[in-house]
Structure 1
Amino acid sequence: MDATELQFRSALQDYEAKNYKKAIQTVDKILKKNPLHSQSYALKALITGFYHPNSPDNTDANELCNVNEDILKECDDLIEQAVKYGPSNSISAHLSALFYRQVKNYERAAHFYSTAYANNPNNKAILRDLSSCLSQMKNYKLLSKTRLDYLTAEPGYRANYSSTAIAYDLNDEYENSIKIIEQIEELVKDKLIDEDKHENSESLIYKMELYFKNGDYEVAVKEIESLLKSTEKFRCYDVSGLLELKYKALMKLENFKEAHIVIRKLLKRNPDNIIYYSNLVKCLGIEENVELKKKLFVKLATFYPKSDLPKFLPLTFLNGEDFKEHLTYYLTSLFKRGVPSLFSSIKSLYKDSKKSKIILEVAETLESMEKDITVSSWIKYFISQHYYKLKEYNDSMKKVDEAISISPDCIEFLMFKARILKHQKKLIDAANQMNDARLKDLQDRFINTKTVKYKLRADEIDEALKLAGLFTKNEDGDTPLKDLHVVQACWIISEYAEALDRAFRSKLLHFQDIEAKQLQLVDEENTHLLKKQIESYFGLALQRYLSIFKIYAEYYDDQFDFHFYAFRKGNLRAYNEMIDWASKLYQQPFIGRIYNDLMDLVFFSVEERKLLTDALDYSTTLNKRSKKDKKEEIKWKEEMLKIHKVYEKDTFGESLVQQVMKKDYSKIESIEKVVSHNKPETVQFLNGSFNYEMLQGKYVVALAQLRKMKEIAKQESETGERAQRTADNMVAKLNKFLETPTDDAKIESLKKIVKLGLMRL
């Protein structure tokens, strides 16, 4: 072994021991003597991904550094050199793969793992890492082959069989998956120990799921019956799971008699599962027979007296006097018990306007007959919720005030009053009312979070964050924000971002008033501070919106370790559920809301570019500040740092503001790339997409989003009304584009297409 190889091994050992500074010094020595040594280029790239000598983050020689774009570019260049001087070198390819896996570029990592394995097929561990990358990429076709190759190389571990079976399952090769599971069963027969109980149980029920997916319903039923009868020590312990699968298979086979028996067993095990009741009705074939359903639920109510569902569900199909009679019976007992969630239970009945009238009639009758004032207060609370549901807020307020007059310390009543005030657009009063409720129980986290939310909605940002800090660690000072980001409390970060967004627009509007009206008191206005506030609120709003997407990216990346770990624990069904969850992660309504907010904010900055440019121009006010203005500005900045600081760098998001003002939408584009995959066609996602396409100058594509919004607007519902308002706003934005003068022939052609499209709506 020559000196270069000895030095390289030494550098590799230092890297593995996290002595990054020493390792990079050794690599530099190698490259100085031998500039064609490909492994050293790859190792240097990998080390640089952890430690960079010129990074200001590195206060410690072995401290991890943040891989920014400049460092990433440097590492990419080093890996290009490694490929150039050793295109078939398995070591440099493996090191390159490790780097790209570290920076979460799984496609490039998979490429280099494949290269490394092709040139060193004896290193089977590469296949395991390649499989994890392919799983993260959702490349299931290649994954099934790779998992099988690794299983062939390492047949002594049950986890390898499980992972191969899952790979076939994900690639819709159910028969191959079943064969692998059967191989496991044959291999572990008579060799199981107590620690294998859970894993073996999961494997057995997973096999039943595979039969069901493959359409082998008769086989599934037969196998499940055998498992249910089994008294063996290593049987399937998830009896409910087996019964549910058996029911589904029997329904597919149209064996309703047997399915009825199965669903009865499930109800006996869990009478609080609403799906079981609907399945029972379906098995009996009495969906349209009201009388038989009524008799059925009377019996079920006697069988399961502690369950609320058999008593409630008749309300969903009864009508007229039958409905009124049963509702009276249902409400009476719950009013006497003072159940706060009663109205939530029957809220679904309000889809029928006739039933909503009967509900009020029954409640008022019970109220007039009730002599116990405590029970009466709960009835008044219920009636208040009824009026609230119908958006009759004045009547709702009247009834909840009556309830509060009887029970002034009931937190539920006080909270509901705050909710009514919120819908009356009295946001400050609502926040104060919610705070009054909070003061009744200072140990209650839920009421504290509700108060924080209401304070943020009322734009009382500083007060809201102080209240949030009552239940956070606050190790880095008075602000709870760092801790809230660490625990990934997306609900408060989103509300906080929206409050900052509103504050930015409000301050910008105030600046516009000063500029437009040339107020006589302008000299008394600290305009320089106002400009600082505009920039800070804009930057912080952008920063907080982006931080939510950063958190969701972490959620998505958290899958990676489970592509290996889940099979060691035998959690096959849980792994499949995780894959399904991850595929829908960016389709959640919450993400749609934040996506829409972010795109709307950036588009607003484009629409108001001239005004915003003036507001961010400090040259006109910098030298006009008085001593009082400067002191006021210093005090404001100290308060902002004290409460709003999360990141050491770019504390107020100034760099984000500069990027947006320079029309650098790279961060926005990366978010669009993630969200655009299987994007749901909801009001918020469509509006966010519309604003993004407008930002990109893709007006015809934006027009297509408008057409989809118009389709939703045809619905006779609250969603339809919201879609219509959003569509009107979209049309206004497109009309503004049409009215903007231009000398560009291409833009003029686009205008003609857009104008024609608007006429055809």
Structure 2
Amino acid sequence: MPPSNPLPPKENALFKRILRCYEHKQYKNGLKFAKQILSNPKFQEHGETLAMKGLTLNCLGRKDEAYEYVRRGLRNDLKSPVCWHVYGLLQRSDKKYDEAIKCYRNALKWEKENIQILRDLSLLQIQMRDLEGYKDTRYQLFMLRPTQRASWIGFAMSYHLLGDYEMANSILDAFRTNQMKGPYDYEHSELLLYQNMVLAESGQYERALQHLHKFSAQILDKLSIKETSGEYYLKLKRFKEAEAVYEDLLKRNPENVMYYEKLIEAKQLTNPDDKVAFFDVYKKEFPRAIAPRRLQLTEALAQPVFEKLVDEYLRHGLHKGIPPLFVDLRSLYKDKSKAESIEKLILQYLENLTKNGTFGPDASETKQPASALLWAYYYAAQHFDYKQETDRALHYIDAAIEHTPTLIELFIVKGRIYKHAGDPVSAYQWLEEAQAMDTADRYVNSKCARYMLRAGHVKRAEEMCAKFTREGVPATENLNEMQCMWFQTEAAASYKRLQQWGEALKKAHEVDRHFSEIMEDQFDFHSYCMRKMTLRSYVGLLRLEDVLRAHPFYFRCARVAIDVYLRLYTSPLQDAPQTQEPDTENLAPSELKKLRNKQRKAKRKAEQESALQAQVQVKREQHHKARQQQEQGDPEAPQLDELVPDKLARAEDPLEQAIKFLLPLRTLAADRIDTHLMAFEIYYRKDKPLLMLQSIKRAFRLDSSHPHLHDCLLRFQRWLDDNLASYNPSVAAVITKEIEPMVRGRSAVQMAEEFIQSAERTQANALWGARALCRLLPARTPAALAQATALDYPDTSIQGCVDVLESLRQGEFGACEKEIEQYIEACRSKFPYAIAFKPAAEQDAAADAPLQPKEIAVNN
């Protein structure tokens, strides 16, 4: 379609030069040519030139001017596809994809067959997962450019993503037969594998298998052919063929655990003894392979057989000195008899190695290297730590350190023992010692930083990480830029424990922004993957992005943020009182001198911090500017608001902020009961009965006996008793009907008493049940308190005791200072290393005390 406001030849030539300058990123020249057109009084309001000038300004970072020019151009020429397209590009640069799609659709009203606008529209539609719209746009591109490969592939993929596998396969077949000529290469191979993937996802495994065999000569990824065909044979229950495929794959890689599992399925072995015999065959065939030996231990159930096999495995691991031997065998400890067998063998090894230098009691056996005793100590320490026998674990790890005081792994394990014993301060001090022995090891550095965060030493953790971050930039800035989410989630949890609510929220929001950035970064791959034909990986990327916020990192940060926002809603922060000037007239000279010195130090410290913040800001601005230059002229990304901890902690609507973190979890982490319990806590405070009911129902389906759910149900029932009469009768009828299967006609008091009597005897059940009983029947507080503070539950843990102690201190059982002291003393006797039950002065001293070098080689 011709321009709605055409330019004369001279000005039109200048306009084309503006377009070329934009395409070649020569923005200053583009502005110069635009000025030449707009300086002519006849064309000073030419819409398309104004729009292009705005687009060029946007690329130079002058966003406000850019919007002003583009909107002005659009007002002057509403029928111009160029103006609408440019406006869409500006909206896209600000990540306003919905608005950009509207702009592109308006542009297409005036120029239906513009290839570039259609391509840009299709990219935004797949980004926003508008699959129906994407299919229509790809169809138009296909009709306009039927000879281009991307037109065929995009058209087929649109049907695949919508689940119309037959149509997608037909398009790919037509493209392959009509368009693909010449030598077969990697891209052709990937296309065939993608087509095979479409057939498999449609459930036509027989057809997919035939397709794979038919084109196997043209597919370059031979390993993928074998693995995929083996999978199809199993799906089709053609076990003999599957057996042959996986036996061939095992010859290729005898350490692949999945091949053994698939081969067992192909052989239809179900008896444990048959599986043990199966692994015996492959132990002989692949004598150096570890996988069949380890998998055999899982399947061996008979005690004599297991002891014989694990004896061989342990001897081999200790002789070779394999550090992760315990981690490798830890999954066997779920079977108590297997754990006992391993403990018996390890103690025998220690005794015999100490006496004879051999694993067995016979001194004539082959002598083991001196390191075998070291690794036996190392394993024993981890074994008893797993069993929560801290004293024995420390005894063995100290013996190992005395044997070889230069092995870093020993100090890491000693720190882990203290961590499990509830002493995070000693834990990080031993990790710090390990880090000092090899300052170039990034793993130990990161592990030490994590332990510091768990001990509440955030600044020390930042200093530790700074050894591996970019110089001249604070560690937190660099870690945030690198999307180092393990550090930020741990820091958020640490700040929450320290009750620094603003800092905790800042870290949680930083992690949330990382996930948004990852989702936005996929935009670059929509055209790239289509061009490079990495189609299977591209579909995998799209599916990953759809469930991205189901990742554990997001769940952890969301839980911290929701907990903090709920706390801030219940107890908002008070404005800090203004400090008054001290009365200096009535002070003694010595006191006045001390005060002046203190004020000078505070002023100097404030000036230093201000200067440091200024340097950080300059560095940040320089870094952002350099990144924009590296982006080679792409439109400037929107600058996100700076996260200010104090501002975050004083949010006007903490519950609405909590809901923003909750919504992705309700969709993507709906299989976790914690999601629905957090949802209830938010909606309970917002007085939303239908949403409360929905949360309870979803949680009830996942685990009807969960103690926190029981408490939510009681509170909801009591809330209904007080408020339901004021609601619309139709709403009240729905709530009453839906809650009945869970309540079963019982009152809140009856439910609380039944839960205490019938629930499984665990520490969590006791605490939640006691809380509810105390809230409903205050007269029974002493009995509830005794139930909550008992320490004879099978699952009694340090964290469980900390939860009880926190509940007592918050006054949920009334005033009970004496009971708190008694409970702390009882917990200290049960968990002597746990720092949570030590006096405050002792905790502070432990936190500040450096690890003495003499402690390294002695029993600590």
TM-score (norm 2): 0.71
Partner of 1:516: none
Residues 230 and 245 of structure 2 are in contact (CA less than 8 Å); yes or no, is this contact kept in structure 1? yes
- How far did 1:265 drift? 1.6
Show CA shifts across 1:49-99 (max 9, x none).
x37xxxxxxxxxx3366xxxxx69x95x99888777766542232122212
* Greater alpha carbon shift after TM alignment, 237-246 vs 174-183: 174-183
Which structure has the higher relative contact order (CA within 8 Å, separation 6+)? 2
- How far did 1:37 drift? 7.0
Show CA shifts across 1:297-330 (max 9, x none).
1111122223211111121121221111111122
* Greater alpha carbon shift after TM alignment, 109-118 vs 255-264: 109-118
Partner of 2:605: 635
Residue aligned with 1:396, SS: helix
Give yes or no for the alignment of 1:368 onto 2:351: yes
Partner of 1:382: 379
- How far did 1:592 drift? 0.5
Q: 1:159 to 1:321 in 2, by over 3 A?
A: same
Structure 1, unaligned stretches of length 5 or more? 52-61, 66-70, 506-536, 716-722
Give yes or no for the alignment of 1:495 onto 2:495: no
- Give 2:479's aligned amino acid: L
Show CA shifts across 1:674-702 (max 9, x none).
55433333255345434543565536524
Q: 1:735 to 1:205 in 2, by over 3 A?
A: same
Show CA shifts across 1:585-628 (max 9, x none).
1001221010010111122112111xx21xx2343557889652
- Give 2:576's aligned amino acid: D
In structure 1, C-alpha distance between the alignment counterparts of 2:436 and 2:713, rounded to whole Å: 47
Residues 211 and 219 of structure 1 are in contact (CA less than 8 Å); yes or no, is this contact kept in structure 2? yes
Partner of 2:669: 679
Partner of 2:93: 102
Partner of 1:518: none
- How far did 1:278 drift? 1.2
Given candidates 152, 155, 166, the residue that maps to 1:175 is 166
Partner of 1:270: 253
Residues 81 and 107 of structure 2 are in contact (CA less than 8 Å); yes or no, is this contact kept in structure 1? yes
In structure 2, C-alpha distance between the alignment counterparts of 1:91 and 1:676, rounded to whole Å: 42
Partner of 2:534: 571
Q: 1:675 to 1:110 in 2, by over 3 A?
A: farther
- Give 1:361's aligned amino acid: K
Give yes or no for the alignment of 1:619 onto 2:607: no
Residues 592 and 684 of structure 1 are in contact (CA less than 8 Å); yes or no, is this contact kept in structure 2? no
In structure 2, C-alpha distance between the alignment counterparts of 1:63 and 1:80, rounded to whole Å: 17
Residue aligned with 1:619, SS: coil
Superposed counterparts of 1:700-739, under 5 Å? 700-702=690-692, 704-706=694-696, 708-709=698-699, 724=707, 727=709
In structure 2, C-alpha distance between the alignment counterparts of 1:355 and 1:112, rounded to whole Å: 67
Given candidates 406, 426, 444, the residue that maps to 1:409 is 406
Show CA shifts across 1:28-61 (max 9, x none).
979999999765786687567x37xxxxxxxxxx
- How far did 1:11 drift? 7.4
Superposed counterparts of 1:47-446, under 5 Å? 50=58, 62-63=60-61, 88-192=79-183, 197-228=185-216, 230=217, 235-287=218-270, 289-319=271-301, 320-370=303-353, 371=357, 372=368, 373-446=370-443
Give yes or no for the alignment of 1:486 onto 2:481: yes
Q: How many residues align?
A: 685
Residues 506 and 645 of structure 2 are in contact (CA less than 8 Å); yes or no, is this contact kept in structure 1? no
Q: 1:204 to 1:572 in 2, by over 3 A?
A: same
- How far did 1:736 drift? 12
Show CA shifts across 1:519-563 (max 9, x none).
xxxxxxxxxxxxxxxxxx543332222111111111111111111
Superposed counterparts of 1:648-663, under 5 Å? 653-654=643-644, 657=647, 660-663=650-653
Percent of aligned pairs with the same residue? 23
Q: 1:636 to 1:677 in 2, by over 3 A?
A: farther
In structure 1, C-alpha distance between the alignment counterparts of 2:328 and 2:110, rounded to whole Å: 64
Given candidates 453, 459, 471, the residue that maps to 2:468 is 471
Superposed counterparts of 1:509-520, under 5 Å? none
In structure 2, C-alpha distance between the alignment counterparts of 1:681 and 1:32, rounded to whole Å: 66
- Give 1:662's aligned amino acid: E
Partner of 1:526: none
Given candidates 518, 539, 543, the residue that maps to 1:580 is 543
In structure 2, C-alpha distance between the alignment counterparts of 1:702 and 1:409, rounded to whole Å: 57
Q: 1:633 to 1:473 in 2, by over 3 A?
A: same
Q: 1:483 to 1:280 in 2, by over 3 A?
A: same
Pair member with larger Rg: 2
Residues 343 and 385 of structure 1 are in contact (CA less than 8 Å); yes or no, is this contact kept in structure 2? yes
Residue aligned with 2:391, SS: helix
In structure 2, C-alpha distance between the alignment counterparts of 1:29 and 1:746, rounded to whole Å: 64
In structure 2, C-alpha distance between the alignment counterparts of 1:464 and 1:360, rounded to whole Å: 36
Q: 1:455 to 1:638 in 2, by over 3 A?
A: farther
Residue aligned with 1:236, SS: coil
Q: 1:707 to 1:664 in 2, by over 3 A?
A: closer
Residue aligned with 1:205, SS: helix
Give yes or no for the alignment of 1:18 onto 2:23: no
Show CA shifts across 1:400-430 (max 9, x none).
2222222222211210111111122211111
- How far did 1:217 drift? 2.1
In structure 2, C-alpha distance between the alignment counterparts of 1:403 and 1:137, rounded to whole Å: 57
In structure 1, C-alpha distance between the alignment counterparts of 2:36 and 2:727, rounded to whole Å: 54
In structure 1, C-alpha distance between the alignment counterparts of 2:649 and 2:731, rounded to whole Å: 27
* Greater alpha carbon shift after TM alignment, 549-558 vs 385-394: 385-394
- Give 2:189's aligned amino acid: S
Residues 162 and 567 of structure 1 are in contact (CA less than 8 Å); yes or no, is this contact kept in structure 2? yes
In structure 2, C-alpha distance between the alignment counterparts of 1:629 and 1:112, rounded to whole Å: 60
TM-score (norm 1): 0.79
- Give 2:162's aligned amino acid: N
Partner of 2:774: none
Partner of 1:448: 445
Residue aligned with 1:104, SS: coil
Partner of 1:553: 516
- Give 1:635's aligned amino acid: K
Residues 566 and 575 of structure 1 are in contact (CA less than 8 Å); yes or no, is this contact kept in structure 2? yes
Q: 1:17 to 1:733 in 2, by over 3 A?
A: farther
In structure 1, C-alpha distance between the alignment counterparts of 2:700 and 2:541, rounded to whole Å: 35
- Give 2:161's aligned amino acid: L
Q: 1:184 to 1:661 in 2, by over 3 A?
A: closer
Partner of 1:515: none
Residues 160 and 567 of structure 1 are in contact (CA less than 8 Å); yes or no, is this contact kept in structure 2? no
* Greater alpha carbon shift after TM alignment, 419-428 vs 27-36: 27-36
Residue aligned with 2:514, SS: helix
- Give 1:142's aligned amino acid: G
